[in-house]
Amino acid sequence: MSTPKHAHLAAILRARIDDGSYEGRLPSEAELMDEFGVSRTTVRAALAALLNQGLLTSASGVGYFVRQLERFLYRPQDDFRRTPINSEVDKFTLAARKRNPSQTIEVSLVHPPEPIARRLLVPQDEVVVRRKRLRLLDGMPYQINDSYYPRDVVDGTEAMVPGDVSRGVNEVLAENGFAQVRALDEIWVRMPTPEEADRLTLGPGTPVGVHMITGFTADDRPIRVVRTILPGDRNIITFDRTHPDHEDGDR
Amino acid sequence: MSTPKHAHLAAILRARIDDGSYEGRLPSEAELMDEFGVSRTTVRAALAALLNQGLLTSASGVGYFVRQLERFLYRPQDDFRRTPINSEVDKFTLAARKRNPSQTIEVSLVHPPEPIARRLLVPQDEVVVRRKRLRLLDGMPYQINDSYYPRDVVDGTEAMVPGDVSRGVNEVLAENGFAQVRALDEIWVRMPTPEEADRLTLGPGTPVGVHMITGFTADDRPIRVVRTILPGDRNIITFDRTHPDHEDGDR
DNA sequence: CAGTGGTCTAGACCACTCT
DNA sequence: GAGTGGTCTAGACCACTGT
């Protein structure tokens, strides 16, 4: 046969998962060996593929389970409220609020990593302020969100205190003479580092989105970089754009 | 030992990859078996982990190689040009232009998948127009980009023709009485389906971003949904936002 | 041709969960 | 205690790549 046994088996299992034949739990490895007449290695290869596709989870001593995702809306422009599209956005936002949101905040002075230094136009050997946040829903981490500021931008302000800034850091910056009038968003996608997987308790087959926001003043000075790590199994990033400076144009 | 051999080995290999000890190619499986005194299964388990983290590629009969990524900027609001942040955006855009961009276009009438129908506020049994695009750089696919329109929005226009619309579809829609003034962007992250992996020639450990754009008229009617699939190893999504309706606020 | 990764097998022991 | 997934071994054959 041209397609390997494990790939064939994976395709069958995937189809059954998709059509709902397996509600919740899959047959055990032993049962699959019997049903398909293959070795345990082959069964495990097929299951490993599905794990890495994010379709399954496994629990040692228990079994394999069809994965259920619940994603929450993440709205980088949260204050800027407009009429919602349909009720969907509201539904999700509401869902997140019900999940008892919380966060931990640390503030420290650090040498910026290269990607931050480049965006902040600051040399790497210069010290900047980092506000490190881990955001939780029902005690489960769902985002890493770290902000970096040049020292002069936040020195002596509330942004240096490791706690919530109820007015929002934007307002604090504006009062300090650094009003942010423009932002550049960059988003890309990759697999997590082992550290991220650990900190965010990510299962196999769970990619992350990286969202980098660079904020600028009216005279185009970068005054902040926000780096958010968003586990793919629990986040949807949303933007609401006016103007017809729209999408790619579909030419 | 508490950590499994394969995990330990994977960590060592990861460190060596990161610090550049392996330039390009890794030792063969046989060499790793010798060096670490473990079975081939264990070596392969470690390598599989690194493959699934997107750090390696493998070529049958040749070896394992450190993965090199080259990501291109994707700018949903491409026409809307503003001063670039630093030279980076330009660098990337230029890089993409040098890569001989091309695309294939198919237009057909289809029943919308549920996520499309919901956003378009159209029943699933109603037929809509789909413009299906595969976008390539140097002949290599780097994006799937499919647009869906209610029939009355595009009927009798150039958007029905399977070819480039040099003016941009937005202009065509506006002429037809459906000017788009607002867009909702939704972005999430997941592992690709086998079909996507095939169509986009994705290696293991390559997640994709899903970018859904819903476009609205002034009276809030959804007139288009664009669904873009972006392989994580070759795309960066960017937005340029004015106004201080900024990011999450970092409270 | 030798070397490489891809596939597959049979068998073993372990830690863990559930009843 | 029975069942489960996680780990690990030794060994085999294959298709493919490079020289």
Nearest-CA residue relative to C1' of C17 = A61
Locate B193 and state its tokens: 């389906």
Q: What is the pLDDT along chain A (251 residues), one digit of tens a residue?
A: 479 999 999 999 999 999 989 988 999 999 999 999 999 999 999 999 999 999 999 999 999 999 999 898 888 765 333 333 444 444 555 566 778 888 899 999 999 999 999 999 999 999 999 999 999 988 889 999 999 999 999 988 888 888 777 777 888 888 888 988 888 999 999 999 999 999 999 999 999 999 999 999 999 999 999 999 999 999 999 988 875 444 455 55
Whether residue A207 and residue B204 make contact (CB cut-off 8 A), yes or no, is no
- Residue B249 to chain A, least CA–CA distance (Å): 5
How far: B61 CA to C2 C1' (Å)? Answer: 11
Q: Are B120 and B152 in contact (CB under 8 A)?
A: no
Tell which of A67, A116, A189, A195 to mutate to test the B interface (max B CBs under 10 Å).
A189
Cα separation of A8 and A5, whole Å? 5
Is A48's CB within 8 Å of B53's CB? no
Q: For nucleotide D2, give the residue with the nearest CA to its C1'.
A: A61
Q: Return the pLDDT at B83.
A: 34
Check residue B61 and give its pLDDT.
Answer: 92
Counting Cα atoms < 13 Å in the Cβ hemisphere of A226 gives: 24
Instruction: Decide if pLDDT at B128 tops 80.
Output: yes
Angstroms from B233 CA to nearest CA on chain A? 7
Q: What pLDDT does residue B247 have?
A: 47
Residue A226 CB neighbours (<10 A): 25
SS3 at position A109: strand
Return d(Cα B165, Cα B205) in angstroms, integer: 35
Chain B contact probe: residue of A82, A149, A188, A230 with most B CBs at under 10 A: A188
Angle (CA) A128-A130-A135 rounded to 5° is 165
- What pLDDT, on the 0 to 100 scale, is given for residue B243? 59
Task: State the nucleotide closest to B44 in CA–C1' terms.
Answer: C5
- Angstrom distances, CA of residue A3 to CA of A8, B37, B197: 6, 32, 16
Residue B28 has pLDDT above 80, yes or no: yes
This prediction has a pTM of 0.89
Residue A134 has what pLDDT? 92
Nearest C-alpha neighbor of B233 from the set B83, B69, B114: B69
User: Could you give the residue ranges of the DSSP H alpha helices within B121-193?
Assistant: 151-154, 169-175
pLDDT of residue B250: 59
Query: In chain A, how long is the greatest CA-to-CA distance?
Result: 72
Q: Which pLDDT score, from 0 to 100, does residue B173 have? A: 85
User: How many Å apart are A112 CA and D12 C1'?
Assistant: 53
Q: Residue B86 — very low, low, confident or very high, per pLDDT cuts 50/70/90?
A: very low
Pick from B144, B145, B136: nearest CA to B99: B136
DSSP H helices in chain B:
5-18, 29-36, 40-52, 87-98, 114-120, 151-154, 169-175, 194-199
Question: B69, B40 in Cβ contact below 8 A?
Answer: no
- Express each pLDDT in B33-74 by its tens digit: 999 999 999 999 999 999 999 999 999 999 999 999 989 888
Model confidence at B245, pLDDT cuts 50, 70, 90, reads very low
Banded pLDDT at B82 (limits 50, 70, 90): very low
pLDDT reported for residue B95 = 64
> Is some CB atom of chain A closer than 8 A to the CB atom of B58?
no
d(CA A2, CA A13): 19
d(C-alpha A136, C-alpha B185), whole Å:
24
Average pLDDT over residues B151-172: 83
Choose between A17 and B75: higher pLDDT: A17
Closest residue, CA to C1' of C18: A62
The pLDDT value recorded for residue A95 is 65
Residue B194 is predicted with a pLDDT of 94
